[in-house]
Amino acid sequence: MTEPECIIEIESLHTRYGNHDVHRDVNLNVYRGEILTLIGGSGSGKTTLLRHMLGLEQPSQGTVKIFGHSRNDATFNRQEKIIRSHSGVLFQQGALFSALTVFDNVALPLRELHILDEDMIRDLVMVKLNMVAIEPEHANKMPAALSGGMIKRVALARALALDPKVLFLDEPTAGLDPELSESFVELILALRTEMDLTIVMVTHDLETLVALSDRIAVLADQQVIVTGTLDEICRFQHPFITSFFKSIRHKIEQKNHSEQTWKTVPMPS
Ligand X SMILES: Nc1ncnc2c1ncn2[C@@H]1O[C@H](COP(=O)(O)OP(=O)(O)OP(=O)(O)O)[C@@H](O)[C@H]1O
Q: Which helix (H) or strand (E) covers residue 119, if one does? A: helix 118-131
Find the farthest-apart pair of alpha carbons in the chain and give their distance in angstroms, rounded. 74
Shortest Å distance, C-beta 170 to ligand X: 8
Shortest Å distance, C-beta 9 to ligand X: 20
Q: Is 159 helix (H, G, I), strand (E, B) or coil?
A: helix
Asked if 161 contacts 124 with a C-beta cutoff of 8 angstroms, the reply is yes
Stretch that binds ligand X, among 2-10, 25-33, 35-43, 72-80 (CB under 6 A): 35-43
Binding-site size for ligand X (CB under 6 A) equals 10
Rank residues 28 and 161 by Cβ distance to ligand X and give the closer one.
Answer: 28
Asked if 176 contacts 205 with a C-beta cutoff of 8 angstroms, the reply is no
Q: What would the x/- binding string for ligand X be over residues 37 to 76, using CB under 6 A?
A: ---x-xxxxxxx----------------------------
Asked if 23 contacts 12 with a C-beta cutoff of 8 angstroms, the reply is no
Q: Is 22 in the site for ligand X (CB under 6 A)?
A: yes
Q: Is 17 in the site for ligand X (CB under 6 A)?
A: yes
Q: Which helix (H) or strand (E) covers residue 23, if one does? A: strand 20-31
Residue 32, CA atoms < 13 Å, CB-side half-sphere = 12
Shortest Å distance, C-beta 164 to ligand X: 22
| Closest alpha carbon to 72 in 11, 15, 31 | 11
Rank residues 40 and 59 by Cβ distance to ligand X and give the closer one.
Answer: 40
Shortest Å distance, C-beta 59 to ligand X: 12
List residues near ligand X by CB under 6 A. 17, 22, 40, 42-48
